[in-house]
Amino acid sequence: MAPAIWFPTIKANTGTDVFTRRLVNGLHEQGIKAEITWLPLRAEYAPWTVPVPTPPAWATAVHVNTWLHPRFVPKHLPLVATLHNAIHHPDARNYKGWLRTTYHEYWIAPIERRIMQRADQVIAVSRFVADTARRTLIDTPTQVIYNGINIQVFTPHHKARISSRPFQLLYVGSWKALKGVDLLATIMRELGDGFELRYTGGPVSEKDKAHMPSNMIDIGRLQGDAAVAGAMQNADALLFPSRSEGHPLVAIEAMACGIPIVASRIPPLIEVVDSGETGLLCHLDDVAGFVKAVQNLSTDLTLHDAMCRAAPSRTQDRFSESNMIEKYLDVYRNITSASLRSRT
């Protein structure tokens, strides 16, 4: 019996939404029936105010984010649960504030534990996420499946460096301290003339613009993979001083587009960036280190070109969307078969 997967999912306008859409589209391309039921954002913090949707009669399994409240998970279907982040890691508390920390500890963590206990298979998007969950939530068997990217969209656009133009940096991500955005203005001020940073700020970054140097350019929120890939293909490097990641998909997308990464030396980025080969990793919050790394890339053309060549092949081998979908398909087939055997 072929698996058929139902995805009850909170629409949060985050990378989790992108992951779910990509996975469902990939399953459709494989001839697998799959469907998303979008729930409003309040289903996260006030689940009792949202009606429980009826699962499709054709579904053989349900796949959820571990944040989804158990009231939305049908009891009669096998469950796959994906851990998308490491928000409970002690290092993240310094950047969340007491209110968000309390919310995560006393509301989200108990939900995640219940979902993980109920799940037939728990998936983590990185080894770091799996290890963090094991230490802070519950010790349960967990398989790592990296989120994949569409390598037909995120692909190199070979171009010659124009020495007369500024070295083009790009930041793509949410505008929050957890992502290290408070470091960007200081880094760019230190770099000065000859460097530009295009960043995805939008309205939430307005409050910080009075303190930004003129070599920072707000390109707003990018809509869709093609827009993100286009911005990456026109950049010389990705500047990513993030302090906390679950699985740094932005870094993977940038490497697939053939640009090096200048990022924080934190475990999730160590998993995907080969420092010195596909990017340069700097100590956390080390502004001088970031400045020096960017300057090295801009002046050492041999190093920059070597990283531009190495990054796509390393990324496509490990993080292709097709690879991710095949691994999830194996999970769905296994739990569907096990469910059928238990009924006979």
Q: In what order do the strands lie in the sheet with 167-171?
A: 216-218, 195-199, 167-171, 237-240, 261-264, 279-282
Q: Tell me the two tokens of residue 156.
A: 């190199």
pLDDT of residue 258 exceeding 90: yes
Shortest CA distance to 179 belongs to which of 286, 263, 99, 257?
Answer: 263
Query: Phi first, then psi: what are they for 170, rounded to 5°?
Result: -135, 135
Residues 198/217, Cβ–Cβ less than 8 Å? yes
> pLDDT by residue (tens digit) across 223-240?
888 999 999 999 999 999
Q: What is the pLDDT of residue 98?
A: 87
pLDDT of residue 250 exceeding 60: yes
Cα(298)–Cα(20) distance, rounded to whole angstroms?
Answer: 37
Q: What is the pLDDT of residue 57?
A: 95
Mean pLDDT score across all residues of the chain = 92
Q: What whole-number percentage of the chain has pLDDT above 70?
A: 96
Domains located in the chain, CATH noted: 4-148+320-343 (3.40.50.2000), 167-318 (3.40.50.2000)
How much of the chain is helix, strand and coil, in % rounded to 5?
A: 50, 15, 35
Q: What is the pLDDT of residue 135?
A: 95
Residues 37/73, Cβ–Cβ less than 8 Å? no
Q: Alpha-carbon Rg of the chain, whole angstroms?
A: 21
Query: Which H/E stretch holds residue 188?
Result: helix 184-191
> pLDDT by residue (tens digit) across 272-324?
999 999 999 999 999 999 999 999 999 999 999 999 999 998 887 789 899 99
- Confidence class for position 246, pLDDT limits 50, 70, 90: confident
pLDDT of residue 10 exceeding 80: yes
Q: Specify the amino acid at residue 29.
A: E
Query: Which H/E stretch holds residue 338?
Result: helix 321-343
- Confidence class for position 337, pLDDT limits 50, 70, 90: confident
pLDDT of residue 344 exceeding 60: no
Q: What is the pLDDT of residue 71?
A: 97
Query: Phi first, then psi: what are they for 320, rounded to 5°?
Result: -75, 150
> pLDDT by residue (tens digit) across 29-84?
999 999 999 999 999 999 999 999 999 999 999 999 999 999 999 999 999 999 99
Q: What is the pLDDT of residue 172?
A: 96
> pLDDT by residue (tens digit) across 121-179?
999 999 999 999 999 999 999 999 999 888 889 999 866 666 668 999 999 998 988 89
CB atoms within 10 A of CB 46: 11
Residue 73 Ramachandran class (φ > 0 left, ψ -120 to 50 alpha, else beta): beta
Global pTM? 0.84
